[in-house]
Amino acid sequence: MINILVTGGNGQLATCIKDVESQHDNLNFIYTDYLELDICDLKQVQAFFESNKQINYCVNCAAYTAVDKAEEDVEKAFEINAIGAKNLALVCNKEGAILIHISTDFVFDGKKSEPYTEKDVANPISVYGASKLQGEVKIQQKLKEHFILRTSWLYSEHCNNFLKTMLRLSKDRDELNVISDQIGTPTYAGDLAEVILKIIVEENNLFGIYHYSNEGVVSWYAFAKAIFDESKINMSVSPIKTEDYPTSATRPKYSVMDKSKIKEKLKIEILDWKESLKKCLIKNRS
């Protein structure tokens, strides 16, 4: 039996892992939220691992993800995204566990016009991005046996995300303005959950940083239109520029990621974002 600790156990990615865990009889999952395990407290992390032997994998879904709020709540963002990640790496190193850590496209500045590879220099332009990058660095310094999975525009039928927001707004509005000059790739958290479990089941040891999102390139505006079209919702969506919708945090204008490495090394097959959107909406309706 492979024992797997999943932090951030009430978030959308952890919930998607719960959805597919029944497909794997040889995996035993331990889900925790911050009330059960505060990853910012090193002694608490150590005690948890010691009382739950033997944890073979730790999937770190815990994160401070309020991008705009992080601009003011700097200390908390770094505490969770950097110190928390470092604590998990330290204890995984001591206990012989493999860490699978979820990171973000926001570690890049968005100034490129072609997909970012794992070899591109990270240059975050927000507190959130900087805190997530520092978490990556801390993990690499403290633990050899790790996977860092950078993902983008994560959504699902669970919790709060862009898709759920669009569907909620459609209940009392018939028109929306959505940003059209930020370009990236929506990623269905259910697909990412399956990638994580594939890494574990195959006991892969090709450690390092990997980019994972669905395939394709799209704007938030086009993504919103696709959500409404696929849902058969009559909504008028108008494109606006980033400067027309000011936010506290600066976001990358272009954050498409190159997935060649994860496809070649880990043999991951990746669906187009439109196909995954259809799959998610079917589950959301059921």
Catalytic residue annotation: 128
Write the CB contacts of 207 (distance below 8 Å, at least 6 apart in sequence): 98, 144, 145, 146, 147
Nearest to 186 by CA among 154, 209, 163: 154
Q: What is the largest CA-CA distance in the chain?
A: 55
Between CA 270 and CA 277 the distance in angstroms is 13
* Omega cis (within 30) before 54: yes
Alpha helices in the chain (DSSP H): 12-20, 42-51, 74-78, 84-95, 127-142, 162-169, 189-201, 220-230, 260-265, 273-285
Pairing of strands 208-211, 183-184: unpaired
Between CA 121 and CA 209 the distance in angstroms is 13
Please give the structure tokens belonging to residue 214.
């669905």
* 20, 195 Cβ separation under 8 angstroms: no
Nearest to 186 by CA among 149, 221, 223, 211: 223
Q: Which helix (H) or strand (E) holds 59?
A: strand 57-60
